Amino acid sequence: MRKDGRSCDQGRPVQIIRHFTKYAQGSVLIKTGETAVLCTAMIDETVPSFMRGEERGWITAEYNMLPSSTKTRKKRDRNGKTDSRSVEIQRLIGRSLRSTLDLSKLGERTIKIDCDVLQADGGTRTASITGAFVALYDAIQWLLNKEIISENPINCFVASISVGLFKDVPILDLCYDEDSQAIVDMNVVMTDNNEFIEIQGTGEQRPFSQDELEKFLFLAKKGINSLIADQKSALGIK
């Protein structure tokens, strides 16, 4: 048992609240344990210059942590500068979401995703991906309802979760205290077809074996399948 009473293969309680803000075509507040992230999706009727004339769309993402999201105040980004961790995470979010779509069905437009961490207790990047997909889904439904696009470009659902080795035991969905002491730390992005989009694994204190990797992926699959069920429930999909 862990300090919050969870078993090793148990994720944190998840809450997905849709339509959280007024103006975005898709907006979600996602809570996973003590972590809370606001994810919005807004439509821009342009594409990056390198895609003009290709008759397909684009998904891009930005990620940020609010100053009060951590125990000690996090400085805001200034003068257009984004810290390297945030750049890495927003690229991961963008890749993860683009992998779920047929971009040719989106038309020459961009859906811009913003993920703002309101409170951080581990797993902010994984919660961002999971919540952002629901916001993206709602934005695409808005395009369909307005008959701006005629076909749904979504090929699959996607969610993400962390796994790791804590006190020599594989565990699912690490909170901050577990993550900061983990022997191995891993983030997994996977679809509802049980296909992997990204696996980020690091031996923080020692290398890990193939047998341990398989245990991590088994846990991640279980956790992500549960998160995708949460997404579909929030969207009213059976």
Into how many domains does the chain fold? 1
pLDDT, tens digit (0-9, with 9 covering 90-100), for 115-127:
999 999 999 999 9
Percent of the chain with pLDDT over 90: 93
In a domain, 7, yes or no: no
Q: What is the mean pLDDT of residues 34-46?
A: 97
In a domain, 161, yes or no: yes
Percent of the chain with pLDDT over 70: 100
Question: Is 123 labelled a binding residue?
Answer: yes
In a domain, 90, yes or no: yes
In a domain, 197, yes or no: yes
CA 94/CA 36 separation, integer angstroms? 19
pLDDT, tens digit (0-9, with 9 covering 90-100), for 199-221:
999 999 999 999 999 999 999 99
What is the β-pairing status of strands 158-166 and 169-172? antiparallel
29 is in which domain, residue-wise? 14-74+84-235
Instruction: Report residue 26's pLDDT band, with 50, 70 and 90 as the boundaries.
Output: very high
pTM (2 d.p.): 0.96
In a domain, 179, yes or no: yes
CA 81/CA 79 separation, integer angstroms? 5
Q: Which residues are CB-neighbours of 234 under 8 A, at least 6 positions away?
A: 16, 17, 18, 28, 134
Secondary structure percentages of the chain, helix, strand, coil, to 5 = 35, 30, 35
Question: Is 85 labelled a binding residue?
Answer: yes
Question: What is the per-residue DSSP string for 190-205?
Answer: EETTS-EEEEEEEESS
Give me the pLDDT at residue 154, please.
98
CA 153/CA 18 separation, integer angstroms? 20
In a domain, 212, yes or no: yes
Tokens of 133: 């997909």
Is the model's pLDDT at 80 over the cut of 80? no
Question: Is 124 labelled a binding residue?
Answer: yes
What CATH number did the domain enclosing 64 receive?
A: 3.30.230.70
- Coil, helix or strand for 217? helix
In a domain, 79, yes or no: no
Give me the pLDDT at residue 33, please.
96
In a domain, 3, yes or no: no
Give me the pLDDT at residue 79, please.
73
Tokens of 129: 């991906």
Q: What is the mean pLDDT of residues 157-174?
A: 97
Mean confidence (pLDDT) of the chain: 96
